[in-house]
Each structure stands twice: as C-alpha cells, then as structure tokens.
Amino acid sequence: MKDLLGNYQPMQRLSRYVTASVLGSIAMVLLVIVSLDAIGAVIDGTGDIEKDYSFLQVMIYVAITLPGRIYGNIPMASLIGCLIGLGVLANNSELVVMRSAGVSVLRIVWFVIRPILWLILLGAMLGEYLVPYTDQYAESRRMLLTGGTSAQDSESGFWNKEGQEFMHFNAVYPGGVLFGVTRYRFDENHRLLQASFAERATYQGGSWLEERGVITNFHDESTEVSQFVTREWETKLSPELLNLIVFPPKSLPIGSLYNYSEYLQEQDQDSSKYELAFWAKALQPFTIVSLVLIAISFVFGPLRQVTMGYRIFAGVLVGLIFRTLQDLLGPASVVYGIPPLLAVGTPALISALIGLWMLRRAA
C-alpha cells in the first residue's frame, strides 16, 4: 500500500504540472487568437457605422459576440497551445527526464488529454447555452440600430409569409421580442387589404401582443387609418420557430439544429446546412482531441528538436490546413449531396489517425 501511494503521489504532481503547462499555453493562445478576431471584427464593423450605429455600438457588438468567438477558436487554440506547452517541457529536457524515470508516452498523452476533456466540456456548455443567446442578441441589436422604423426604410431584417399575409421584422430578440413589425394582408386576387406597423411585439401566453402601432385599411376608393396602443396578434409563429428561421445555423443550439433538421426532412425540404451545423457542433470534441493528438505527436516526433517559433508556425500551418479542409468539404456537402457527417468528420479522423500513427512510432 505504501508503494502504491508513493508511486501515485509523484504521478499526481507530475500530472498537475503538465496540466498547468498545457492549459496555461492554451489560455494564452486563445487570448491572442480571440483578440485578433475581435480586432478584425471591429474593422469590418466600421463599414456599418451610421447615425444610430456608432463606433461605440460596433465595440459593444463585438464584445457581446466574444463567447461565440471563444467557442469557435477553441480547436485552433488547443492545437497551438499544446505545441507550446509541451514544447517548453521538451526544450527544458523535462520530457526526456519523464521518459527516463519510466513514464511512458501513453501516460504523458493522458496527462495532456485529461485537462483537454474539461476544456471540451466547458466549450460544449458555452456553445449550447451561452453562445446562441449572445449571438442572437448581438445580431438583433445591430439590426435594430442599423434598420429603419418600417420595412420600407430598413436595409436589414427578415421577411416571412403566412397564408395571405406578408410580414417583416426589423429585429428579432431572443425570448420572444420583436421590433419593427410590419404586416401586409392581401386577398386571393393579390389585392392589398390592410397594412400595419407596430413598434414592438412580445410573445405572451401563446400569442403575440403588438404595441404602439398604426393600421391602414384599403377600401375600393378610400383608405382608413387608425392607431392602437396594444393589439393581439394570432399567428402560428413562435419565438423558437422564428429563431430557427432568421438566425444562421451556427448560432443555434445543437438540440434545435437536430429537431429542425428532422422537421425539414419530414417536409421534404433541404436540411443540409442545418445538418452540417449540427455535426460541426456534435463532433467538435472529437475535432479538438484529434488536433491535440497531432500536437503531441509533433512534439515527440519531428518537432522535438526545433525552436519554439518553428513549433508555433507548424501549429498555425496545420490548423489552417485543417480549417480550410473543413471549409471546403462543408459547402461541397451541401452542393454535391455528400453526407454532412462525412464532410465534418473526415478531417478530424485523418488528423487522429496521423497523430496516433506518429505517437506509435515515437513510443
């Protein structure tokens, strides 16, 4: 029992040491990548600056979308961070000392993978519960500030058709809040019967309540205009359905992506882009692990004796190749009918197999 405890405690300390080195490097890399991504977003956002959408509003938009940027850059940060963290240990000959002390390559791999699993869990929670809300809120807020007060003078927003009624929303906020609701009702001969505009609509008890609006009724030879403070609006649209329709698939939680893909398939409609987003989120843990395996195999293999700058360059290069391959296969799966699972999983599988093969040679 004493021998077991004596062997366990040094291994536990060694594991914590490797964990601190790897996670610290990943955090540093993630901070740099997200900062560069945010700066690029601010520069891109300056093109939308106008009267109500100032530079400060651009900064607020980028700040709100930071969780999404963190979530999207975790795989790249994991790859480069592991290369740096293990590279520091290799440069200090600490990996050589570990091997000389009888610590196997497989055990060192486990020392690295174990904290990565916690990072994967954190990323999954972030992508499922926080990112959908922050991305939708930021985009809705931006559209509200850049759009006008009605469908005619709004350069953004969303259109929807239900029966003989066309509707336009300047902004759709999470939780069932609409801003700038314009509705046009036609008869069967496509003649305009009524047009209305409401500043806001909220979802309450299964129906929408429009607030502060104007209604224009069109008769054969005259029009009639009236105003209202509140008005109930009966429609089949729900906040959940609106979110699925108006926001990009990458901003939706994985459960909504799966359910909506199933719904579109039942309606014989194209669901490929929602399936692609679903598998990209579902397989992100496997993607991160595969990139980490590549990083570990590089440190024990071809990048064992090189400088830190070369390791970073190699990590960025591999990450760019990996992301480019995913970006090419994703749209190709939509255009050519390739199964989305195959399009998303192939780069990760190739990375994992290469990493395992190189680790086996180094062991």
Kindly indicate the confidence band of residue 294, based on its pLDDT and cuts at 50, 70 and 90: confident
| 17-49: pLDDT as tens digits | 888 999 999 999 999 999 999 999 999 888 878
pLDDT at 350 over 60: yes
| 46-60: pLDDT as tens digits | 887 877 778 888 899
**Rounded Cα gap, residues 137 and 102, in angstroms:** 53
| 208-259: pLDDT as tens digits | 999 999 999 998 888 888 999 999 988 877 887 777 777 788 888 888 888 8
For residue 23, CA distances in Å to 78, 84, 181, 313, 321 come to 9, 10, 47, 19, 23
| 3-20: pLDDT as tens digits | 443 455 777 888 888 889
Q: What is the mean pLDDT of the chain?
A: 83
Kindly indicate the confidence band of residue 1, based on its pLDDT and cuts at 50, 70 and 90: very low
Give pLDDT, residue 6. Answer: 47
Number of other CB atoms surrounding residue 128 within 10 Å: 15
| Structure token digits, residue 161 | 């058709």
- Give φ, ψ of 161 to 5 degrees: -120, 135
What is the three-state SS of 117-173? HHHHHHHHHHHHHHHHHHHHHHHHHHHHHHCCCCCCCCCCCEEEEECCEEEEEEEEE
pTM above 0.85, yes or no: no
Q: 220 near 191, Cβ under 8 Å?
A: no
Q: 326 near 344, Cβ under 8 Å?
A: yes
β-pairing, 165-173 with 158-162? antiparallel
State the number of CA atoms in the 13 A half-sphere of 245 facing the CB: 16
Give pLDDT, residue 172. Answer: 81
